[in-house]
Amino acid sequence: MSRPVLPHRPRVFPRALALACLLAGATEAPAAQGDAPDKVDTENLFGFTEGTDTGKKGEQEIVVDAIGRFSKRRGGPGISGYGAAEPIVSYQIDPTDEFSIEPGLQFDARDTRSIAGVPDKRFATFNGGSLELKYQFHKRTDAAPFGIALQAEPLYSRVTPIEGQGADVFSMDTRLMVDARLIPDRLWAGVNLIYDPSVARLKGSGETDRSSTLSLSGTLMARITDTLFLGPELRALRAYDGAFLNRFLGHAVFAGPVLHYQVSEKGFLTLAYAAQVFGHDRAPDFSDRAFNLTQFARHALRIRFGIDF
């Protein structure tokens, strides 16, 4: 007995399902591209300003970061000079894509002679240690090309940063960092708001000194070649007596250029120079001077290089 021949029915559902999957993939592709992170790492791109980026989970990095300060107010006749450098050698590890931990060892080298309020000294020594903790709340993407991060760096030092006197110095560099990609693959900007309280107990006399600094820094970095970036940087600093911005002592404005060179895929070099272009010291003896050379130096130089693995 022959079976009846059923009429042919086109497979509408499988074809519709395939078409829907194809359309979904086409609409999801731009979204995935919009969530792609910025290819340029801003963590070490800027000068005295810090970038918001952290490394990828499991990455490690060795960094040498040296800040030098030069030239302060002459304290008398004859030859005078002021130079102080504070290099830090640190090791960074990234437990997650958003969080980094960076312990470091700090050193101090200085040569000062006939400077107002600063004793004559010449030495180089181990100066203490630091622990930098950084969390990135938002990463730059194509859809939202800005980053936000918060960084805290407690630091113990064995000498005071300006006078170079023996002391137990505890400070906490705290930064709110924001950066943005202004022109894709061409131009980046970074801004830091910095609060840095410090408490120092001088050795010998036991005298305690409390101070704090409030700073705002900003920079623009333009890509010149695939590996070379250049840009200007501007910083405004305010010095206070007391660890909680108690009494205003004076301010200074610094400006200068920044150079960042990507030595290799894993290595970098950043150079930044800043000159004090304007300042005011509230101390009566120096209130009529053009610069604030009591709390700040006339020139600053930062050299930072590192390699990640």
Q: What is the 3-state secondary structure (H, E, C) of the chain?
A: CCCCCCCCCCCHHHHHHHHHHHHHHHHHHHHHHHCCECCCCCCCCCCCCCCCCCCCCCCEEEEEEEEEEECCCECCCCCCEEEEEEEEEEEEECCCCCEEEEEEEEEEEEEEECECCECCEEEEEEEEEEEEEEEEEECCECCCCEEEEEEEEEEEEEECCCCCCEEEEEEEEEEEEEEEEEECCCEEEEEEEEEEEEEEEECCCCCEEEEEEEEEEEEEEEECCCCEEEEEEEEEEEEEECCCCCEEEEEEEEEEEEEEECCCCCEEEEEEEEEEEEEEECCCCCCCCCCCCCCCCCEEEEEEEEEEC
Instruction: Assess whether pLDDT exceeds 50 at residue 115.
Output: yes
Q: Given this model, what pLDDT does residue 37 score?
A: 75
Q: Given this model, what pLDDT does residue 28 score?
A: 40
Q: Given this model, what pLDDT does residue 187 score?
A: 97
**pLDDT by residue (tens digit) across 262-298?**
999 999 999 999 999 999 999 988 888 889 999 999 9
Q: Given this model, what pLDDT does residue 23 score?
A: 35
Lowest mean pLDDT among 20-24, 200-204, 216-220: 20-24
**pLDDT by residue (tens digit) across 40-55?**
999 999 999 999 999 9
Q: Given this model, what pLDDT does residue 34 score?
A: 61
Instruction: Assess whether pLDDT exceeds 50 at residue 27.
Output: no
Q: Given this model, what pLDDT does residue 290 score?
A: 87
Instruction: Assess whether pLDDT exceeds 60 at residue 135.
Output: yes
Instruction: Assess whether pLDDT exceeds 50 at residue 25.
Output: no
Q: Given this model, what pLDDT does residue 13 score?
A: 39
Average the pLDDT over 96-112 and give the result: 98
Half-sphere exposure of 65 (CA within 13 A, CB side): 20
Average pLDDT value over all residues in the chain: 90
Q: Given this model, what pLDDT does residue 78 score?
A: 85
180/49 Cα distance (integer angstroms): 13
Which pTM was predicted? Answer: 0.87
Q: Given this model, what pLDDT does residue 154 score?
A: 98
Q: Domains for the chain: give ranges and CATH numbers.
A: 12-308 (2.40.160.40)
Q: Given this model, what pLDDT does residue 11 score?
A: 47
Nearest CA-CA partner of 269 in 109, 133, 66, 90:
66
